Structure 1
Amino acid sequence: MSIWQAIILAIVEGLTEFLPVSSTGHMVIASSLMGISAFEFTKMFTVAIQFGAILSVVVLYWKRFINSFDFYKKLLVAVIPALAIGFVLKDVVDAMLERVEIVAISLLLGGILLIFVDRWFKDRENPVTTPSYKNAFIIGMFQCIAMIPGVSRSASSIIGGLTQNMTRKSAAEFSFFMAVPTMLAAATYTVLTDLLHLEISDVIKFNLPKIQAGFASITPQDWQVLAVGNVVAFLVAMAAIKFFVGFLTKYGFKLFGYYRIVVGLIILLLLSLGVDLQIV
């Protein structure tokens, strides 16, 4: 992977990770059109640069992360459903991840849903700005829907927040917060197993020879590409989050719904033309 390819993928990641448009669908298009979707390093890279996206949330909302221990307990409650269901249905999820048409269909159906979301949750009395533990758990259950490729973790968790009478802004921000432990776990696991070729047991037992061998197997160019990707993803994600909160508060979801439909149709068109699309 070249530096420019890394920058393009990082821009796509930063722009789409926290918007309700499915970063997976966009990564499929971008990596496939650049001819790098089949590379193992590309698959690992697209997950590893989530560290940069995660950091953007922590930097933008740093006061929330040092506010109280109760904040972390609610995040834990919200993440538990995804961890549990993901563990039980791992084989099913892995099977779906191999089918690009599922991404396209999810984008289309999710787009149609977003067109009507504003109408369904328009009037709210005594809106919730800080979710309770029960609210957090229910939102976490909604986040599990995003295990279907193309659904969008952001879209499902924000809609989950709206069902709990949260405002659009509060629901979006809690979705960002939930992304930190969720994406951190996924990115860490991917880096350890796919990049460093380690078993989790090696890390737990601190098997120093294997850990050193894992780091030694990475070329300086790979480290450079990862560093550039994370920096770009961090900067772009910060801008995307600021834009999204303001836009969502003022205009709602409808435009994102139409956009998802267009992206889904593009993927279906590329598939019909025989373009080799792969989920990275």
Structure 2
Amino acid sequence: MSEFWTAVILGIVEGITEFLPVSSTGHLILATELMGYDAKRWALFNIAIQPGAILAIVVLYWRTFWEVFTGLFKWDAKAVAFTRNLLLAFIPAVVLGLAFGDAIELMLENAVIVAWALIIGGFAILVVERFAKTSDAGGVANISWQRSAMVGVVQCLAMIPGVSRSGATILGAMAMGVDRKTAAEFSFFLALPTLTGATVLQLYKHRSEVSADDMGLLAVGFVVSFFVAWAVVKAFLAVVTRYGFGPFAWYRIIAGVAALVWLEMR
């Protein structure tokens, strides 16, 4: 298979999984293993195409971001609270990402870690869905700064591939009483600084390894992940509102077990 089609496939996987609680990084790692790709060759690509999915959130929620942007100039209370919450949730990832970046990169090459994280995360979702007592938070701006900071701490669990950044933040917020819709939107918005920062850091650290051909492949993955993520996010909230996160939990468990069996048998 040509590298162009490899980039297309990985872009589709990224777009589908980035905002679902199933771990986009984990699925990209498993995809490279399943299709026999060189994991080290595509590890940077898998991170660098994330801004395509991020752009989908910017497009879908452009009114929200515009209101916050213009509101900050007026020091509007909701705009300030919205920005404060995202920054507080973002800081823990910055600290731990810079401190343990090399160790995190090593885990990105381990498909077994991904499989176990999928299984454990699936059961964690079932527990939170069963026992969390949530109420309508009234939007991201209305979440307390304490809860926002704790969501940021929980997000750091997603540095383990297979845990899922969106899953950790959504379920972490729900465990603290935030309703599903607000928790999901908080996760969407928090992806902007978190994933952009991770991408910029990785591209800077590995800038000498990126060739002109690589930039072309990154562009393909970026565009594909944008359109796929745009379609997935539009449907995601409707599914979650009606069915909850249970289907994603069982998918994680089945996928994780299947991955372990395949990794053992190959």
The yes-or-no answer on 1:51 pairing with 2:51 is yes
Read off the aligned partner of 1:239 and give its amino acid letter. Answer: A
Read off the aligned partner of 1:66 and give its amino acid letter. Answer: W
The yes-or-no answer on 1:239 pairing with 2:231 is yes
Q: 1:13 & 1:89 partners in 2: Cα distance?
A: 24
Q: 2:86 & 2:255 partners in 1: Cα distance?
A: 31
Query: Is the contact made by 2:137 and 2:182 (CA closer than 8 Å) also made in structure 1?
Result: no
Offset of 1:218 from its aligned partner?
2.5
Q: Secondary structure at the match of 1:224?
A: helix
Q: 1:94 & 1:7 partners in 2: Cα distance?
A: 23
Gaps of 5+ in 2: 73-79
2:172 to 138, 155, 160: 160
Q: 1:226 & 1:26 partners in 2: Cα distance?
A: 18
Query: Is the contact made by 2:29 and 2:109 (CA closer than 8 Å) also made in structure 1?
Result: no
- Runs of 4+, deviation exceeding 6 Å: none
Query: Is the contact made by 1:47 and 1:186 (CA closer than 8 Å) also made in structure 2?
Result: yes
The yes-or-no answer on 1:179 pairing with 2:191 is yes
Query: Is the contact made by 2:92 and 2:156 (CA closer than 8 Å) also made in structure 1?
Result: yes
Q: Which residue does 1:75 correspond to in 2?
A: 86
Gaps of 5+ in 1: 198-213, 275-280
Q: Which residue does 2:202 correspond to in 1?
A: 190
Query: Is the contact made by 1:128 and 1:165 (CA closer than 8 Å) also made in structure 2?
Result: no
The yes-or-no answer on 1:102 pairing with 2:113 is yes
The yes-or-no answer on 1:135 pairing with 2:147 is yes
Question: What are the superposed Cα offsets for residues 201-234 of structure 1, whole Å, 9 maximum, x if unpaired?
Answer: xxxxxxxxxxxxx8xx723x43332222111100
Q: Secondary structure at the match of 1:188?
A: helix
Identity %: 44
Offset of 1:95 from its aligned partner?
4.3
Offset of 1:92 from its aligned partner?
4.1
Offset of 1:174 from its aligned partner?
0.4
The yes-or-no answer on 1:218 pairing with 2:211 is yes
Query: Is the contact made by 1:15 and 1:237 (CA closer than 8 Å) also made in structure 2?
Result: yes
Q: 2:114 & 2:15 partners in 1: Cα distance?
A: 19
2:128 to 89, 93, 117: 117
Comparing 160-169 and 231-240, the one that deviates more? 160-169
Q: 1:90 & 1:39 partners in 2: Cα distance?
A: 16
The yes-or-no answer on 1:248 pairing with 2:240 is yes
Read off the aligned partner of 1:81 and give its amino acid letter. Answer: P
Question: What are the superposed Cα offsets for residues 76-130 of structure 1, whole Å, 9 maximum, x if unpaired?
Answer: 1110111112333335434433432221111101111222322212x54454533
- CA shift in 2, pair 1:31/1:62, >3 Å: same
Q: 2:6 & 2:127 partners in 1: Cα distance?
A: 36
**C-alpha RMSD over aligned residues:** 1.9
Q: Which residue does 2:77 correspond to in 1?
A: none
Q: Which residue does 2:39 correspond to in 1?
A: 38
Offset of 1:262 from its aligned partner?
1.3
Q: 2:260 & 2:4 partners in 1: Cα distance?
A: 29
Work out which of the two has the higher radius of gyration on C-alpha atoms and give 1 or 2. Answer: 1
- When normalised by structure 2's length, the TM-score is 0.88
